[in-house]
């Protein structure tokens, strides 16, 4: 069953698994840890921009769907063993 919020947001047409770490993979890892597909879904659900670290633009904090906050480190968090778990969506 799809809700009104899910219907209004754009749906991805393709998904690939990450093969090696990159800034893009790091970004996807942080969103997916908080329970979102990517930034597009975060924006449509929370109606807000994600807070980012000023020096490298990585995600700093995200509000989860239950209203709690997840905080992320300044540096890389996605370890090599977590890379294949990351899903990269294409619209």
Between CA 62 and CA 75 the distance in angstroms is: 16
- Please give the residue ranges that form the binding site for other proteins (CB under 8 A): 33, 60-61, 64, 66-71, 73-74
What is the smallest separation between the CB atom of 1 and other proteins, expressed in angstroms? 24
What is the smallest separation between the CB atom of 49 and other proteins, expressed in angstroms? 15
Q: Which CB atom, from 21 or from 70, has the smaller least distance to other proteins?
A: 70
Neighbouring C-beta atoms of residue 59, cutoff 10 Å: 23
Between CA 87 and CA 16 the distance in angstroms is: 6
What is the smallest separation between the CB atom of 41 and other proteins, expressed in angstroms? 18
């Amino acid at each position: 069953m799809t809700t009104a919020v899910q219907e209004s947001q754009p749906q991805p047409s393709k998904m690939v698994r990450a093969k090696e770490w990159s800034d893009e993979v790091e970004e996807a890892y942080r969103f997916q840890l908080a329970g979102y597909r990517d930034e597009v879904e975060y924006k449509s659900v929370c109606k807000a921009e994600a807070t980012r670290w000023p020096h490298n633009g990585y995600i700093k904090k995200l509000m989860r769907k239950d209203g709690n906050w997840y905080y992320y480190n300044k540096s890389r968090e996605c370890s090599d063993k977590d890379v294949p778990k990351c899903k990269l969506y294409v619209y």
